[in-house]
Structure 1
């Protein structure tokens, strides 16, 4: 790449940064003004779609010679947005401090303390609550909260365990101790694990989503997860007496880890199996939720 093209590409990147920062600010300002922070992902997509046409024309005319075709420009903009949107949003949220939010045991906001600090969440005993995947969850948790809003759905440990048992444990794993036939049951247990992972043990799609009064269907947006029916931030969940809060699919991972442990699998086995299922490209937050679920932390 010659120096002229390299300099122009740097200017393109700077231009895209400025545009995405503007999109993020417009989306949050609109969501806060209309008290619709649960729709922030949709607003981001809508604004991005409109501004994208302008960005294509600007890059095509002001930075000619950098790209071979309009398709190349479109692909570059999409890739740039996907790779930089999260960090730009985090910068925006850091620079726009908010409040401390107090919630009761049911996950309902009961008190808000204005302190010009980034949003933090506490239970009524003063224990701080943490989100399993802040980079994703901050899309839905920052902004203005009001008393009576729901932060999460509380799931007692017994309720979770009862649902896992109702979904059917993998009994073949428990039979691997039988002499001679043990290896056969071991292989059978893994076959069942694969089948149930896309069926009865898909707790996000088959159980947790039904607990939520609001449902945000997934699409091809930047906030959507591959092979998912719903957006991660459709609902949040807290299990037992832990102080961790999980979005819909991280909560499903938590319960999957718990279910596999109750079925007799070791943590090293489920860690390897879950990573292999995602071709070893799964997110750190997914593995963190699985581990906490397995150890009921």
Structure 2
């Protein structure tokens, strides 16, 4: 894989001349740093096959990770989420909404638009409920498995008080994008929505509406990008 990003259709790396960045950090398959060519210049990241890895939000919350001197040998640059782990997370959140979306499709084919609408509303209600629980993947899945695994044993969550968005990063499958904790959670949410039979229009509306309810001006570009990458299962589809 070359140094092109999976999101090459956009201009998310505007302002970064990657050809001039020479501070190369190489990791093994598990995401641990095995080599650092340090020269006090901004960081570039590579896997052991030589493929360059990019941060999902390099001009936003991930910007500090491009600073020189941020890493040491043996450090965990990212956690790898393989297909088996992805499926485990998806099953934990469940596919109840999919059943109602399928019922809605059948009702539409039969011309029963009222019944179809009711099934869609039920599916959205399930998503609304689960998105703050099982489908809040940063908290329900990524944190317990990779950051504070002891939570799985004692079911206490003191780590939530110290959870930091940019301390841990994640690589989804063979993607060449590294996601911070919350963006990785967004990716998984997008995957879950896809597997539950929703479309991108619903995802965009739902995520923006959630931010409006919190008093924000809608989701950021990086948030939306991670959700849509998850919807497309980038890194898992060949």
1:201 aligns with 2:145: no
State how far apart, in whole Å, the 2-side matches of 1:136 and 1:218 are: 19
Deviation at 1:292, TM superposition (A): 0.4
Q: Where does residue 295 of structure 1 map in the other structure?
A: 232
State how far apart, in whole Å, the 2-side matches of 1:146 and 1:252 are: 26
The structure carrying a bigger helix percent of its residues is 1
Please state whether the residue corresponding to 1:272 is helix, strand or coil: helix
1:186 aligns with 2:114: no
Deviation at 1:162, TM superposition (A): 2.7
Task: Determine which of 147, 150, 154 is the counterpart of 2:76.
Answer: 150
Please state whether the residue corresponding to 2:104 is helix, strand or coil: coil
State how far apart, in whole Å, the 1-side matches of 2:85 and 2:148 are: 21
The answer (yes or no) to whether the contact 2:105–2:116 under 8 Å persists in 1 is: yes
The answer (yes or no) to whether the contact 1:196–1:202 under 8 Å persists in 2 is: yes
Deviation at 1:284, TM superposition (A): 1.1
Scaled by the length of structure 2, what TM-score is found? Answer: 0.74
Deviation at 1:263, TM superposition (A): 0.2
Evaluate the alpha carbon distance shift between residue 260 and residue 163 of structure 1 in structure 2; reply closer, same or farther with a 3 A threshold: same
The answer (yes or no) to whether the contact 1:98–1:143 under 8 Å persists in 2 is: no
Q: Where does residue 257 of structure 1 map in the other structure?
A: 190
Deviation at 1:203, TM superposition (A): 0.3
State how far apart, in whole Å, the 1-side matches of 2:146 and 2:32 are: 13
The answer (yes or no) to whether the contact 1:217–1:231 under 8 Å persists in 2 is: no
Q: Where does residue 137 of structure 1 map in the other structure?
A: 62
Task: Determine which of 91, 99, 114 is the counterpart of 1:165.
Answer: 91
Q: Where does residue 94 of structure 1 map in the other structure?
A: none
State how far apart, in whole Å, the 2-side matches of 1:168 and 1:127 are: 34
Deviation at 1:140, TM superposition (A): 4.3
Q: Which runs of 5+ in 2 are unaligned?
A: 1-14, 16-20, 150-157
Deviation at 1:126, TM superposition (A): 1.0
**Who wins on radius of gyration, i.e. which is larger?**
1
Structure scoring higher RCO (CA < 8 A, sep ≥ 6) equals 2
Q: Where does residue 121 of structure 1 map in the other structure?
A: 45
Deviation at 1:98, TM superposition (A): 7.4
Deviation at 1:178, TM superposition (A): 2.9
1:285 aligns with 2:222: yes
Please state whether the residue corresponding to 1:110 is helix, strand or coil: strand
Deviation at 1:182, TM superposition (A): 1.9
Please state whether the residue corresponding to 2:54 is helix, strand or coil: strand
